[in-house]
Amino acid sequence: MNIKNAQLEVDTWIKEHGVRYFNELTNMAQLTEEVGEVARIIARRYGEQSEKESDKNKDLGEELADVVFVVLCLANQTGIDLQSAFDKKLDLKTKRDHDRHHNNDKLK
């Protein structure tokens, strides 16, 4: 599935199941909350903090999918073609960062 199709699927889901999009500020708050859940899992599972017993069954993939869903909602409601924006960003990063990363001694 490409990003454009994902945006269409989210839009269809919102229309069929979600009544309407939450406003942009609400979705921004929701995105912040979802990113926080991802950060908590990563900090405790891969970082130096100990993982609480209640967090051990949390699904990182599910939390990342929550982040993607809200990002797609924000793109839809603000009229952003996220596929086009992503393609442009990847092209920019490829041109800008290829030599920089290959020449970075910290990454060797």
Q: What are the pLDDT digits (tens) for 15-66?
A: 999 989 999 999 999 999 999 999 999 999 999 989 888 889 999 999 999 9
Average per-residue pLDDT for the chain: 94
pLDDT at residue 100 in the model? 87
pLDDT at residue 68 in the model? 98
Predicted model pTM: 0.89
% of the chain exceeding 70 in pLDDT: 99
> What HEC string does 56-96 produce?
CCCCHHHHHHHHHHHHHHHHHHCCCCHHHHHHHHHHHHHHH
Residue with token string 């945006």? 7
CA distance 38 to 61: 9
1: pLDDT strictly greater than 90: no
Given pLDDT bands bounded at 50, 70 and 90, which one contains residue 90? very high
